[in-house]
Amino acid sequence: MRRRAVWLITFGGGLFFLLEFLLPARTPEWLGGVGNPLTPFLPSATNFLIVVSAMAVLLGPLNLVRRYLGMIVRREQGRLEGAVFLVFLAVSIVAASCEGANIHRAFDTLYNALFYGVQTAFFASSMALLAFYLVSAAHRAFRINNLEAGLMMASAVVILLGQVPLGDWLTQGLPDAFQVRHAAQWILAVPNTGVQRAVEIGVCGGAFAAGFRQWLGIGATTR
């Protein structure tokens, strides 16, 4: 019964969005010039989706709280990390709720310290580390062992230089057509576009098949 209900909701939702997209916005005059009857319901249907997905988002923190609280109570390994998570979660909720509400300036300071001083700084640092990993990977893994690797290296160098002013500076003495940015643009606009289209067609075919199977409940494991 439950499985059938899930399938029915999935099928009904899929049918609604599919028909809304496929039906013309307005029929020709000789057919009465009628508007798409499903379109007026689209914003409300989307709001319903937003509410349901917001509930799903809440499940993540709730599960984490339950897990970490359990770890602390049972004195399991990793309880310290769990405690740090719970403290930051509680403080963040309080700071975000009270910030800008003119309760006390301390809440604004706390919010700014947590958001810009901790969270933003941590996130930006972890992303910045990628630059170092990239350079290290280029040193260790980008080896020209054969013709294909050589072609790839040549293409990568042209793209890397063509995307930055350094490339313009290095080739500024050459005629316009031979400047590295033109070569980079050609690689991106011609061979790359062909490859992207081929990949996209393959991906879309797969996504269509997967979506169709899910919509019709073929091979679904919902219990």
Partner 1 sequence: MGRWLARLHTLNPRWLYLATAILLIIPLVILIPMPRGSASRATRGLYDAVEAVPAGGIVMIDSSWDQGSRSENAAQLECVVRHLCQRRIRFVVTSLGTVFSPEFAQKTIEPIAAQAGYVYGRDWVNAGYVQSASGLAPVISALALDFHTIRQADVRGTPIGDLPLMKEVRTIRDVRLVYVVTYAPSPEWISFITGQFGTPVAFGCMSMMAPNYYTYIDSKQLCGMLIGNRGAAEYEALIRHPALGTRLSMAASFGNAAVILAAVVGNLGMWAARRAGRRGA
User: In the complex, which residues of this chain contact partner 1 (CB under 8 A)?
Assistant: 17, 20-21, 25, 39, 42-47, 49-50, 52-54, 56-57, 100, 115, 119-120, 123-124, 127, 131-132, 134-136, 138-140, 142-144, 153, 156-157, 160-161, 163-169, 172, 179, 181, 185, 188-189, 192-193, 196-197, 200
Nearer to partner 1, 163 or 217 (CB): 163
Q: How far is the CB of 40 from partner 1 (least distance, A)?
A: 8
Nearer to partner 1, 9 or 124 (CB): 124
Nearer to partner 1, 8 or 50 (CB): 50
DSSP 179: S
Nearer to partner 1, 16 or 72 (CB): 16
Q: How far is the CB of 96 from partner 1 (least distance, A)?
A: 10
Alpha helical stretches, state H, the chain: 2-22, 42-73, 79-98, 105-112, 121-141, 147-162, 165-170, 180-189, 191-216
Q: How far is the CB of 194 from partner 1 (least distance, A)?
A: 9
Q: How far is the CB of 213 from partner 1 (least distance, A)?
A: 17
Report the C-alpha dihedral over residues 77, 81, 87, 88, rounded to 10 degrees. -160
Nearer to partner 1, 83 or 92 (CB): 92
Nearer to partner 1, 84 or 129 (CB): 129
Q: How far is the CB of 72 from partner 1 (least distance, A)?
A: 27
Nearer to partner 1, 63 or 80 (CB): 63
The residue whose two tokens read 């916005």 is 25
The half-sphere exposure of 125 on its side-chain side, counting CA atoms within 13 A, is: 7
Select from 211, 209, 219, 208 the least CA-distant residue to 13. Answer: 211
Check if the beta carbon of residue 96 is closer than 8 Å to that of residue 111.
yes
Angstrom distance (rounded) from CA 16 to CA 103: 46
The residue whose two tokens read 């991106």 is 188
Angstrom distance (rounded) from CA 86 to CA 104: 23
Q: How far is the CB of 71 from partner 1 (least distance, A)?
A: 27
11 contacts: CB under 8 Å, gap ≥ 6: 215, 216, 217
Q: How far is the CB of 148 from partner 1 (least distance, A)?
A: 15
